[in-house]
Amino acid sequence: MAKTYDYLFKLLLIGDSGVGKTSILFRFSEDAFNISFISTIGIDFKIRTIDLDGKKVKLQIWDTAGQERFRTITTAYYRGSMGIMLVYDVTNEKSFENIKNWIRNIEENASADVEKMILGNKCDLDAKRQVSKERGEQLAVEYQIKFVETSAKDSLNVEFAFYTLARDIKAKMEKKQEASNPPGGRTGAHQLRANEQQRKPTSWLSRCSVL
Amino acid sequence: MNYQSKANKYVCPNDRQLSLRAKLRTGWSAARSEPPLSKSEREAIAAVVKRAEKVDEVEARRVGRLVARLEGMRRSAQGPAPRTCLLCGETSRLLAPLRTCAICRNSACPKCVIDTPPHRSSIYSREQYTCILCAETREMWKKSGAWFFKSLPKYIMPDKKITGRYNDTELAKTLQEAGPSSNEGKTDSEPGSPLSIHPPSFSRQPSKTDSRKSVCLSQDHEWNETDILSHGVSGLSLHRTDSLTQRPLGLKRTSSKGSAYSIRSIRKDMPKTMTQIERPPTIPDAGFGTLEIKLAYDNGTSSVAVTILRARGLIGMDMTGLSDPFCRLEILPREGSYSNRLRTKTVHKTKNPEFNETLHFFGITESDLDSKCLEIVLFDDDRYGCDEMGSATVSLRECLKCPSQLRLALSGASGSEPTGPRLLLALCYSTKKRALVTTVCRGAELPPQDSNGYSDPFVKLHLDPDPYHKKHKTSIKWRNLNPIWNEEFLFETRPTELSRQNLTLTVWDKDYGKPNDFLGSLVLGASSKGRRLKHWMDCIKFPDHRHEQWHSLTDTQHL
Ligand SMILES: Nc1nc2c(ncn2[C@@H]2O[C@H](COP(=O)(O)OP(=O)(O)O)[C@@H](O)[C@H]2O)c(=O)[nH]1
Ligand SMILES: [Mg+2]
Ligand SMILES: [Zn+2]
Ligand SMILES: [Zn+2]
């Protein structure tokens, strides 16, 4: 059988047009960079399987067009996403300001459980920089989202960013699982009293599993 | 892009805004100034969507393998018996004492348990064990993505073309055979566990009944490139007309809820090149059955006569694997917001209904024949909300062809979330508490009953039959049509009984000095159907996991 994977995580890249979403994805999936700007049409995705703590995690990463005219299509992909990268261009003030709008867009369209990360891309272009790293960090703190500056061109922090997001999703998954039936046997507020007599095991069907 | 100047356009409208717009008869698309997508753009997007479908299928097969593996383990387990391992049947020995599973509390030998690291926040630091069955169930929950999607995603069982989520009939039988609650304590002393007496509960017959729930996949396969290309994508999720999905028929509403992967909605309203046109009259069955119809156009009266002859091999919606199908017909695209929907009668308790009913659409011009199409959606008639069973679309041009009798393959329901008045409900059968933990999470779009345009909603719930006669009530959320309760209620019961019980929820508007107004009701359980039955069965099948789902409320009170 073809080699399989343990988990499928669906990720999404959003941000203004031209900030480098497609380049970041190209770098991560193909380890290459293209200087020319080919505007993404609507949506696209790439696959890469990574290894996290011995588990094979297949990442399906959706790239979106930043343009308004594709918005209906792109927002349709928010809901199924477990992680979202918010990308801005450090040489473009406007794209940074718009991060707030993109966050609002996530709040309205994505699952409440979605993990997020902010990327300040093109950090190789120091001469043209309009947004300082500090401002990026500050925004991230404000929204309680992780942040890193990247360069798709120089392959800086791109791997790190995706691994971090994937790791955060995995951690959340583990946490959710623990919360759903903690081995300690203590659950939320509505735990029935222990005086719910420790009856002897009854029907098998009523126990470990129904089937 | 300058967001400042477009500030009000930037935000993607939420469902509520969209449904308001729908009511105001102003389309969202009308408000947009962007040029529609070009042909090449649509082609590019269609290609991506197709590629994604392949990924989805690989994933559905992987999840199917996980499900099969777990079911295999359950099948081969010995079942609990005093002082023996529930998995391998080994008896307790001095050097290898049996452990107790922290989740199901059954005994298992050291080979059949895994050590669980103590819960981080736990004050108990003593060793914990989980039997491999419980461990596997948890693992499956993670690996399938159910932890995120809050229910098991669609899957395809190994070695089957399309296999349903489960065979409810089989499940029901096994559960019923397992005997009434009086078997409490009895089964333990019996030689052999109920499992060995009633072997595999999930042996799957490769029947078509099973073909539900892998819905999206097979539906997607129905697609060929031209479908997507010729339909345009600009209307994605904006013209959805499937208001009947999960809705009582009495309430007409145009839903505009967008949902991820609702590619199907692209197809709607797009008149040209419908699925059937480029295809031979008989299309391979995609697992959702077929529909035979006759079309005739009369230019004297400018009418189209649609004869719905019969359907074959429909998916089963109730516990017995049967359905109560009827067809809803509509000519698309609509002119304005005027809808002329027609429906057939319901044929009860069948998967192969004979409708033999002719319905007429008037006011169809000859040029309409070229530009419009007929959409037929099959629903399962249920007083608690009609579930979609499949649909087909055909160009009106087919009227002009001879012979005009067509056999259409139905494609699966979109699986979209319900709209209109609805409740978000979480069910979890807790093996530890031996209770059905029901969380009334929230309500949405509840009807206003008070003169101030609001209601003061609360929910009453009870299980039926319930030997304990427990009745629960949520708190009242004042002046709120989208209340958030997140209140949890316990019903002591066991899975064997659950398979015969129904959970009834009614939503009320609190009024002082006069009787409370009824806002809607919902019944989940053994005698429910479709989505509601699936939710119930998931809860029984995967205990100790929270299954969260939206359900439409019906406006009729069945008590
Ligand atoms: N110098 C530099 N240029 C970049 C970087 N990332 C993207 N670009 C360039 O920015 C332009 C737009 O990139 P693209 O990935 O298409 O942006 P998208 O619209 O967000 O997908 C292209 O010309 C890229 O070559 C980067 O990290 N450094
Ligand atoms: Mg791009
Ligand atoms: Zn054992
Ligand atoms: Zn167990």
Is the pLDDT confidence value at A22 over 70? yes
DSSP state of B36: P
- Report CB contact under 8 Å: A206, B494: yes
Distance A4 CA to ligand 3 centre (A): 28
CA distance A131 to chain B (A): 17
Alpha helices, H only, B110-211: 132-143, 146-149, 168-177, 186-189, 194-197
* Cβ of residue A142 closer than 8 Å to a chain B Cβ: no
Tell me how far apart the alpha carbons of residues B74 and B80 are, in angstroms, rounded to a whole number.
12
Cis bond upstream, residue B13 (ω within 30): no
Is the pLDDT confidence value at A62 over 90? yes
Is residue A160 within 6 Å of ligand 1 at its C-beta? no
- Rg (C-alpha) for chain B, rounded Å, is 26
* Cβ of residue A18 closer than 8 Å to a chain B Cβ: no
Partners of B105 on chain A (C-beta within 8 Å) are: 201, 207-208
Is residue A20 within 6 Å of ligand 1 at its C-beta? yes
Give how far Cα A36 sits from Cα of A207, B366, B532, Å.
61, 50, 52
The amino acid at residue B259 is: S
Tell me how far apart the alpha carbons of residues A162 and A4 are, in angstroms, rounded to a whole number.
20
* Cβ of residue A6 closer than 8 Å to a chain B Cβ: yes
From the CA of A154, give the closest atom in ligand 1.
27
Q: Which residue of B has its CA nearest to A3?
A: B62
* Cβ of residue B141 closer than 8 Å to a chain A Cβ: yes
- The tokens describing B86, both together, are 């529930």
pLDDT at B121: 47
pLDDT at B205: 33
pLDDT at B158: 78
Burial class (CB in 10 A: 0-12, 13-18, 19+), A50: middle
Protein residue with least CA distance to atom 7, ligand 1: A20
Q: What is the 3-state secondary structure (H, E, C) of B233-280?
A: CCCCCCCCCCCCCCECCCCCCCCCCCCCCCCHHHHCCCCCCCCCCCCC
Burial class (CB in 10 A: 0-12, 13-18, 19+), B505: buried
- The tokens describing B197, both together, are 């007496």
* Cβ of residue A211 closer than 8 Å to a chain B Cβ: yes
* Cβ of residue A12 closer than 8 Å to a chain B Cβ: no
Name the nearest CA neighbour of A181 among B551, B131, B81: B131
Give how far Cα B484 sits from Cα of A104, A180, B460, Å.
21, 21, 15
pLDDT tens across the length of chain B (559 residues): 444 443 333 334 344 444 444 333 333 333 344 567 888 888 899 899 889 988 998 998 899 888 888 888 887 887 777 788 888 888 877 677 888 888 888 888 888 888 876 555 444 455 688 888 888 888 888 999 999 988 888 888 776 443 333 334 444 444 444 333 333 333 333 332 222 222 223 223 333 333 333 333 333 333 332 233 323 232 222 222 232 233 333 322 333 333 333 333 333 333 333 333 333 333 344 567 889 999 988 888 888 899 999 999 888 888 777 889 999 998 888 776 666 788 888 999 999 999 999 988 888 888 888 888 898 999 888 777 777 888 888 888 888 876 678 888 887 765 567 778 899 999 999 888 889 999 999 999 998 888 888 899 999 999 988 888 889 999 999 999 999 999 999 999 988 888 889 999 999 998 887 888 889 899 998 888 888 888 888 888 888 888 999 998 887 665 4
How many residues can be counted in chain B?
A: 559
Is residue A10 within 6 Å of ligand 1 at its C-beta? no
How many C-beta atoms lie closer than 10 Å to residue A176's C-beta?
16
Is residue A74 within 6 Å of ligand 1 at its C-beta? no
pLDDT at B439: 96
- The tokens describing B153, both together, are 């995603």
In this complex, the residue of A6, A73, A98 whose CB is nearest that of residue B45 is: A73
Tell me how far apart the alpha carbons of residues B487 and B478 are, in angstroms, rounded to a whole number.
16
From the CA of A87, give the closest atom in ligand 1.
20
- Report CB contact under 8 Å: B35, A72: no
Q: b or e along B252-284 (b: 16 or more beta carbons within 10 Å of the residue's beta carbon)? A: ebbbbbbbbbbbbbbbbbbbebbbbbeeeeebe
Is residue A125 within 6 Å of ligand 1 at its C-beta? yes
pLDDT in tens, A103-159: 999 999 999 999 999 999 999 999 999 999 999 999 999 999 999 999 999 999 999
CA distance B122 to chain A (A): 6
* Cβ of residue A175 closer than 8 Å to a chain B Cβ: no
Is residue A22 within 6 Å of ligand 1 at its C-beta? yes
- The tokens describing B220, both together, are 């997607």
In this complex, the residue of A5, A75, A204 whose CB is nearest that of residue B187 is: A204
Bridge partner residues of B100 (DSSP):
B107
Contact B375, B276 (CB under 8 A): no
Residue with tokens 């304990």: B468
Of the listed ligands, the closest to the CA of B132 is 4
In this complex, the residue of A41, A79, A177 whose CB is nearest that of residue B259 is: A79
CA A80 to chain centre: 11
Kindly provide the ipTM of the predicted complex, given to two decimals. Answer: 0.85
Burial class (CB in 10 A: 0-12, 13-18, 19+), B31: exposed
Is residue A151 within 6 Å of ligand 1 at its C-beta? yes
HSE of B480 in the Cβ direction (CA atoms, 13 Å)?
Answer: 14
Distance B426 CA to ligand 4 centre (A): 22
How many residues can be counted in chain A?
A: 211
Tell me how far apart the alpha carbons of residues A198 and B10 are, in angstroms, rounded to a whole number.
58
Distance B393 CA to ligand 4 centre (A): 48
- Rg (C-alpha) for chain A, rounded Å, is 21
Tell me how far apart the alpha carbons of residues B299 and B364 are, in angstroms, rounded to a whole number.
9
Partners of B71 on chain A (C-beta within 8 Å) are: 211
